[in-house]
Structure 1
Amino acid sequence: MPRLNRVTLMNDSDHLDTNDSVSAIQFNESLSAGAMIKAAREAAGLHVAALAVSMKVPVKKLEALESDRLDQLPDAVFVRALASSVCRTLKIDPTPVLLKLPQTNAPRLTSDRSGINAPFNPPSDQKHYSAASPANKPVVWLVVALLLAAFAILFLPDLTVNEKVDVVGPPQATVQMPVEVSAKPDLVKPMDVPVVPLTSQVEPQLAAPQQQTLESLPKVTASAQAPSALTAPSSPVTAPLPGAQLAQSAIVFKAKGDSWIEVLDASKAVQLRRIVSAGETVAVSGTLPLSVVIGRVDAVEVEVRGSKFGLSEIARDNVARFEVK
């Protein structure tokens, strides 16, 4: 027991000596704030790294504070707060240390004698609005481009395919047929309807007046049958045929597949405008010339006054347009 009391008395004396040394350091006016903190730390027997770990502060900031390198710390408020924390950790009075540190001046509100009636004076350096400044921003150009694109989409013409096929093809091939027949009772002018390429136009070739039999006349389709007076091969044709009768059944369509066909006469009256089904045969007549549009060339065979008319030479994109005159 006497030995333990002796150790306790020695520890108490050491503690009193440490407090006395710290108090002496605090009241030493010749030391700076950093030197006072460093002396107190060394008197407490703490290493700067151990103090930094206990306070959870970087070692470099404690070293800068102890070396009075306050320019390496953020601001005066941070310096005073860090010094106060170190003093509390070392259990010393922070007042002498804070007196050595830079003071922070709190902002003060100035009284305005003029009150609410004070005139408003805008600052002279205020930037005036410039109409050209938004043009330098890419966002403005992006918005303008989007508006132009929307305007173009709304007001462009409709590009969808209409029911009526309208294809501008090469020059139309025409089939020229005679519109007049000699009025002589015993003579008829024969006609020949050849099929020629697109670059040339078919011209009728009229033979010299001669007697014709039923075999020498072109075949007539369902809607225009040969007159009963022409049944005998050896009997000449005596009755003249007007031009309107020649136009009857001037063109015949034989559909191998479904196809759109449109036929307009000279007065633009619709003679045929529909889809002709596969296997269907349609004969069309009207006032010449007849304007013809065929939607599927590969699905239709055409006969012009009994002669087969080739469509492959005038077709474009499987659509044929021609006139029968």
Structure 2
Amino acid sequence: MSEQVQASVGQILREAREAQGLALENAAIRLHLMQRQIEAMEADDFSSLGQPVFARGFVRNYTRLLGLAPEGLLARMEGAPAEPATVSPLPTPSSRSWLTSPWLLLLLLGALLLGAIPVALYWWLNSDVEESPAPAPVQHSRSAPAPVPVPAAAPAVVPAPAMEVPLAAPPVVLPEAAPAEPAVVPPAVPADAGAPAASVPGVAKGALHLEFGADSWTEIKDASGNMLLRKLNTAGSSVDVSGTPPFNLVIGNAAQAKLTYNGRPIDLKPFVDVTVARFTLEE
């Protein structure tokens, strides 16, 4: 019991990981962190993880991955914030005592009364003024419709030029346009028929084949952003994926993985960062 009490947070995390046979690389892939961040937590180097809030969040997720209770380890971390002390009720009593003052209530009531009296007088005076001019516009509206029927005689002028239209109709322009129309219709049909044939070869497919020599977290997306594969592949397994290129790939333990695209082997070494390969595979 004394050894567990004296052990640091990082030592407890490292011993729990080693007891489960979990490698640093696999732990980093599962937590979506860099391997150096896992090593920093196991070395009690929490300052390199950024703000204390981020460091505590990383430790909490790591303990849950290892099946440990996070509360005990978070309480033992250095620089654990004493958050209850930051809540200071000092400004609240002053505002409450000021708002509950009887003098303030009297001033507010007086201001409301002074503001309500002018508004009531203004509304009462305007209501009388608006009622008196109402009947006046009614008399003017009755005399106004008299001049309206005068412009009604204007449509009589329109039928006169209508007689000139049949004079322009006899020209031979109409029979000449008739034979031109059927000649244009036939070529339009084959033009539409050829459209679907051009769209068929536009669909490109790509076939990916992956073989894993060690446990590897793999993610593959197609050109439209659809996730084709996202899982932890065990050592000795293989996966076949097909879709529309280009493909976005993330392969963990890339040094132990083999990739072929449409039967052509792809070298993963140029894309490896630490142990993870991230790249886009185009046609």
What's the TM-score once normalised by structure 2's chain length?
0.30
Structure with a larger share of its residues in helix: 2
State which structure, 1 or 2, has the greater radius of gyration over its C-alpha atoms: 1
What's the TM-score once normalised by structure 1's chain length?
0.27
